[in-house]
């Protein structure tokens, strides 16, 4: 028979997956001899089998639960439901990862109308006994039967009104007893049957309810936010009750072994005398700082401090503890790694290494890479923020904060910026034409679009605060107004944004700039010593690239040349190129762009002296560069000296039904090789020029959207022939690589052929994810709502690589590519390159590097180090021989 139940004396900290975090730590503390109330844990496996059995506890589980209860009865000397020495227990959830407040807890279980009298008598404290009973009835009703708490709270209010009491604590034992009776009636009225008085029934119903709470909406949402799989399940801990509310010799509190805000090495916490744990949380009375306990109960304090230090040293991490003092005796109810600010995390990690508690490598595992983000961006001044309430919420698309005056167009932003104003650009959604306006703004707010919309991607690249998809903001771009809850905002009005939370505030909130600490540098240095993966950046400008290099980027993994075409000095020539009807006219327009492009690349090469720079050829469909509205078309036609109708015809002709699957990427370079020629000439011309200035240039030219080897061959031929010409003209030459994006499923499946010709693969997981799922990120909004609600998606595959599907395509491409050419460089330049769990996956695949937006470079560095510690030498474990039998229909 499978073991579903473990006594605390049977487990240890390593059994977290089976016993949950809380259960494993309770067992560990029991093993270490710490004062922990007795109890047992029902495993996470039991939770999964509970669901598999159609949401039923199986006979085997029930048998093992009661066997464990019997062992508890023996060791405590108390009996469950006994009228002499009754055993009372708590029933709590405890998943593998801490999910605070997400699931349910039931206290004081074992009470009924008879037992409560015994408790009153034995403790000599009838008020305590009936208060406990009343609380138990309410909790049980809420958690197990889903009876809304308000049904009970209204009775409490009536009771207080009747007795003229101000707070709960003004009610005496008789009132509590009467309330308990009323609560029992309420229960019976709603449920149509009496409250279960048999403690065994109470226990089984409560355990099932905790299992059930694993799939409540809160828990599902939390898991999605934290990328936790639903398959983990929760454990259930059944533990003897101890009471902090038995008099002035009792109390309860919570503590951190160090300061969770700063990391300072001092015991930090608060407690209440004569109270139960929930009272501390509920804030009915104001808790006292722990220093006070040192005065009130010095021996208890010293013992607690000693245990806290012991646990910290034992676990090698700052601890978050719950304790109860029952009649002068200290019990530890829970210990776990403490949540902390990023600043504190760095401080604790560096200090603990200095104190000899953990090694440098261990220190790296104590920091959540994502938390570093908050250190790299400006924040609101706390006192200013405390006074403000958000008026709307959108998606936290790019971290940092901003306060500025509203501009509704890129031009407006540009003008306001010239006048020395701080600007927030507000649009329904942004397009590449808005880039300059975005660049001069403090932050960007859009009413549409998701985490990978244009605004989000570009803002992250710029390290600029951005909130997207704020649907509550009704933006009228023509009228230049934004309406939120009836309030109308106009150009020049102040608003503030928090791109880390997605909050939007009315008015101006003072901000403070980011400052990188010595600890930050220390942790980054340690990360670099460990990691196997290189870290590059996605940058399109020398400024972004310079910032990324400061943050540790080891090259550019993706320069999107299309952003360069929107500069006011070149968009006109580029549009001339698009509307040209002959190759000759196209070449004439391209000739005007060439010197400007070359200058762009010179700047990038200089800023990346000594590091590789990967430049992608033009990718987006050409219609993205043309205006849409009639007014703009008329204006452009007049500028171009064209008939409006002729220009409209071109705009219409270029329009596509599914532009993401349309005329873009290398398909442009095949239809119009002269574009690729111009770009190659600009890249290699720039490379030769800065080489003569003494810059070490390593250009890598990247062909986007390849689905078929011959596409790549065609464009590579154009590049190589152009290079030959450039080199001959210059009488000089330079090494360069030619590689491809791997962003189309078919490219993954034929990667062996492509690898033979390509110097490198850069996985474009944004597009690959959309094509593998058949789901456009632009259109996914309303679909995803239903998907999260129904638990169909556990996480957003554009945020974390979907290992099962997209990841398998990446793996097939990796295996096939490396089997054909072991030295092919492998990298990723999709948004996933800055996501820690995706970085881990790239490490597992043995990639050479990840590339991400500048401000995510430190995150990727730490995540890469953590991946190496979790999976050492992972790349050597992948078999680069793709198993492919001779009997293979695909090869017939």
Could you give the CA distance from residue 143 to residue 103 in angstroms, rounded to a whole number?
9
Q: Which of 829, 832, 843, 852 is catalytic?
A: 829
Q: Is 403 near a copy of itself (CB under 8 A)?
A: no
Question: Is 412 in a helix, a strand, or coil?
Answer: helix
Check binding of 783 to a copy of itself (CB under 8 A): yes
- Please list, in sequence order, all residues whose beta carbon lies within 8 angstroms of the beta carbon of residue 203, skipping any fewer than 6 positions away: 65, 69, 80, 89, 91, 109, 110, 238
The whole-angstrom separation of Cα 580 and Cα 578 is 6
Give me the least distance between CB of 624 and a copy of itself, in Å please.
11
Tokens representing 706 are: 């390849």
Does 750 bind a copy of itself (CB under 8 A)? Our answer is yes
Q: Report the Cα 37 to chain-centroid distance in Å.
A: 36
55 binds a copy of itself (CB under 8 A): no
Looking at residues 805 to 864 of the shown chain, list those that interact with a copy of itself (rule: CB under 8 A): 805-809, 811, 841, 844-845
Asked whether the beta carbons of 856 and 834 are under 8 A apart, the reply is yes
> Closest distance between a copy of itself and the C-beta of residue 389, in Å?
30
Between 57 and 742, name the residue whose CB sits nearer to a copy of itself.
Answer: 742
Q: Looking at the DSSP assignment, which residues form a beta bridge with residue 7?
A: 40
CB of 477 to a copy of itself, least distance (A): 14
**Alpha-carbon distance 813 to 437, whole Å?**
39
Among 194, 298, 610, 791, indicate the residue that binds a copy of itself (CB under 8 A).
791
The answer to whether residues 30 and 89 touch, using CB atoms and an 8 Å cutoff, is no
What is the rounded radius of gyration, in angstroms, for the C-alpha atoms of the chain?
32
Nearer to a copy of itself, 517 or 766 (CB): 766
Task: Determine if 610 is a binding residue for a copy of itself (CB under 8 A).
Answer: no
**In angstroms, what is the minimal distance from the CB of 773 to a copy of itself?**
5
Q: Which residue has the tokens 């009496």?
A: 194
Cα–Cα distances in Å, from 497 out to 109, 260, 405, 502, 856?
47, 26, 11, 7, 20
Say if residue 343 is exposed, middle or buried (CB neighbours under 10 Å; 0-12, 13-18, 19+): middle
The yes-or-no answer on residue 829 being catalytic is yes
Instruction: Tell me if residue 454 is catalytic.
Output: yes
According to the binding rule CB under 8 A, does residue 625 interact with a copy of itself? no
Minimum gap (Å) between residue 865 Cβ and a copy of itself = 18
Total residues found in the chain within this entry: 892
Rounded CA-CA distance 93/103 in Å is: 6
Is position 745 an interface residue for a copy of itself (rule: CB under 8 A)?
A: yes
Q: Which stretch binds a copy of itself (CB under 8 A): 75-83, 102-110, 135-143, 883-891?
A: 883-891
Closest to a copy of itself by CB, 194 or 791:
791
Choice between 362 and 708, CB closer to a copy of itself: 708
Chosen residue from 382, 657, 731, 822 binding a copy of itself by CB under 8 A: 657
Q: How many CA atoms lie within 13 A of 436 on its CB side?
A: 17
Burial class (CB in 10 A: 0-12, 13-18, 19+), 749: middle
Q: Is 877 in the site for a copy of itself (CB under 8 A)?
A: yes
Tokens matching residue 883? 């198993």
Q: Cβ neighbours of residue 361 under 8 Å, at least 6 residues apart?
A: 526, 530, 869
CB of 585 to a copy of itself, least distance (A): 18
- Residue 149 interacts with a copy of itself (CB under 8 A): yes or no: no
The pair of three-digit structure tokens given for residue 518, joined into one six-digit string: 């010595």
Helical pair 150-163 and 126-145, crossing angle rounded to 10 deg: 150
778 binds a copy of itself (CB under 8 A): yes
- Rounded to whole angstroms, the Cα distance separating 96 from 545 reads 40
Piece in contact with a copy of itself (CB under 8 A), picked from 376-384, 513-521, 730-738, 775-783: 775-783
749 binds a copy of itself (CB under 8 A): yes
Examine residue 627 and tell whether it contacts a copy of itself (CB under 8 A): no
Give the orientation angle of helix 59-76 with respect to helix 44-52, to 10 degrees: 150
User: Per CB under 8 A, does 883 bind a copy of itself?
Assistant: yes
Instruction: Tell the smallest beta-carbon distance from residue 736 to a copy of itself (Å).
Output: 23
Q: Which is nearer to a copy of itself, 582 or 891 (CB)?
A: 891
Contact flags string 661-700 toward a copy of itself, x per CB under 8 A = xxx---x--xx-----------------------------
Residues near a copy of itself (CB under 8 A): 656-663, 667, 670-671, 705, 707-708, 710-711, 714, 743-746, 749-750, 767, 770-776, 778-779, 782-783, 786-787, 790-793, 802-809, 811, 841, 844-845, 871, 874, 877-879, 883, 885, 887-892
What is the set of active-site residues?
454, 829
């Amino acid at each position: 028979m499978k073991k579903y139940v473990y006594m605390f004396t049977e487990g240890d900290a390593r059994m977290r997956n089976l016993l949950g975090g809380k259960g494993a730590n309770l067992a560990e503390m029991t093993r270490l001899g710490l004062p922990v109330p007795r109890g047992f844990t029902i495993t996470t496996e039991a939770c999964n089998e509970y669901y598999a059995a159609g949401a039923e506890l199986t006979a085997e589980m029930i048998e093992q639960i009661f066997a464990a209860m019997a062992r508890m009865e023996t060791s405590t000397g108390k009996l469950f439901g006994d009228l002499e020495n009754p055993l009372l227990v708590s029933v709590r959830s405890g998943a593998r990862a801490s999910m605070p407040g997400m699931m349910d807890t039931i206290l004081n279980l074992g009470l009924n109308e008879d037992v409560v009298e015994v408790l009153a008598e034995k403790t000599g404290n009838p008020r305590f006994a009936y208060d406990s009973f009343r609380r138990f009835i309410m909790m049980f009703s809420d958690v197990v039967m889903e009876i809304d708490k308000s049904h009970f709270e209204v009775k409490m209010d009536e009771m207080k009104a009747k007795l003229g009491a101000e707070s709960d604590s003004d009610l005496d034992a008789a009132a509590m007893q009467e309330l308990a009776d009323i609560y029992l009636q309420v229960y019976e009225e709603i449920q149509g049957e009496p409250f279960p008085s048999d403690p065994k029934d109470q226990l089984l119903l409560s355990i099932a309810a905790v299992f059930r709470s694993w799939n409540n909406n809160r828990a599902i949402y939390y898991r999605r936010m934290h990328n936790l799989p639903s398959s983990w399940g929760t454990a259930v801990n059944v533990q003897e009750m101890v009471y902090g509310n038995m008099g002035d010799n009792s109390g309860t509190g919570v503590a951190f072994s160090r300061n969770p805000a700063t990391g300072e090495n001092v015991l930090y916490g608060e407690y209440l005398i004569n109270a139960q744990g929930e009272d501390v949380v509920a804030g009915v009375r104001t808790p006292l700082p722990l220093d006070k306990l040192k005065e009130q109960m010095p021996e208890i304090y010293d013992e607690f401090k000693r245990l806290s230090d012991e646990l910290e040293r034992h676990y090698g991490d700052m601890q978050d503890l719950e304790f109860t003092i029952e009649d002068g005796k200290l019990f530890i109810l829970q210990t776990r790694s403490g949540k902390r600010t990023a600043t504190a995390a760095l401080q604790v990690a560096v200090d603990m290494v200095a104190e000899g508690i953990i090694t440098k490598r261990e220190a790296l595992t104590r920091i959540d890479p994502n938390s570093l983000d908050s250190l790299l961006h400006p924040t609101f001044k706390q006192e200013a923020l405390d006074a403000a309430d958000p008026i709307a919420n959108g998606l936290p698309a790019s971290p940092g904060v901003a306060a500025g005056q509203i501009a509704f167009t890129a031009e407006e932003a540009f003008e306001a910026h010239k006048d020395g104003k701080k600007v927030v650009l507000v649009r329904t959604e942004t397009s590449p034409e808005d880039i300059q306006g975005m660049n001069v703004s403090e932050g960007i707010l859009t009413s549409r679009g998701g985490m990978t919309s244009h605004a989000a991607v570009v803002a992250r690249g710029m390290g600029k605060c951005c909130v997207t998809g704020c649907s509550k903001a009704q933006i009228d771009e023509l009228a230049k107004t934004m309406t939120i809850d009836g309030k109308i905002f106009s150009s020049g009005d102040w608003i503030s944004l928090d791109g880390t939370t997605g909050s939007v505030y009315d008015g101006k909130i003072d901000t403070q700039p980011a400052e990188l600490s010595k600890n930050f540098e220390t942790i980054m240095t340690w990360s670099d010593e460990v990691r196997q993966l290189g870290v590059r950046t996605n940058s399109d400008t020398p400024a972004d690239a310079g910032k990324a290099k400061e943050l540790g980027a080891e090259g550019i993994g993706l320069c999107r040349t299309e952003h360069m075409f929107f500069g006011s000095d070149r968009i006109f020539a580029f549009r001339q190129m698009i509307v040209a009807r002959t190759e000759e006219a196209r070449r004439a327009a391209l000739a005007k762009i060439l010197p400007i492009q070359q200058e762009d690349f010179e700047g990038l090469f200089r800023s990346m002296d000594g590091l590789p720079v990967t430049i992608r050829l033009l990718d987006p469909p050409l219609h993205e560069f043309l205006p849409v509205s009639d007014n703009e078309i008329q204006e452009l036609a007049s500028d171009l000296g064209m008939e409006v109708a002729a220009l409209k015809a071109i705009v219409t002709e270029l329009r596509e039904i599914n532009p993401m699957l349309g005329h873009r990427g290398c398909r442009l370079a095949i239809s119009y090789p002269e574009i690729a020629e111009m770009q190659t000439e600009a890249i290699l011309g720039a490379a030769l020029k800065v080489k003569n200035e003494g810059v070490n240039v390593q250009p890598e030219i990247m062909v986007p959207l390849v689905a078929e080897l011959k596409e790549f061959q065609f464009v590579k031929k154009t590049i190589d022939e152009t290079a030959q010409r450039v080199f001959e003209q210059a009488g000089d030459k330079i090494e360069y690589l030619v590689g491809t994006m791997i962003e189309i499923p078919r490219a993954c499946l034929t990667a062996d052929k492509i690898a033979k010709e390509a110097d490198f693969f850069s996985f474009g997981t944004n597009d690959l994810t959309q094509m593998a799922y058949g789901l456009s990120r632009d259109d996914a909004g309303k679909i995803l709502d239903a998907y999260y609600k129904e638990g169909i998606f556990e996480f957003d595959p554009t945020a974390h690589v979907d290992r099962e599907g997209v990841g398998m395509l990446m793996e097939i491409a990796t295996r096939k590519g490396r089997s054909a050419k072991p030295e092919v460089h492998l990298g990723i330049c999709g948004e996933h390159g800055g996501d820690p769990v995706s970085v881990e996956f790239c490490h597992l695949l043995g990639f050479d590097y990840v590339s991400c937006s500048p401000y995510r470079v430190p995150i990727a560095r730490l995540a890469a180090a953590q991946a190496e510690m979790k999976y050492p030498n992972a790349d050597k474990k992948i078999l680069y021989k793709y198993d492919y039998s001779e009997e293979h229909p695909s090869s017939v």
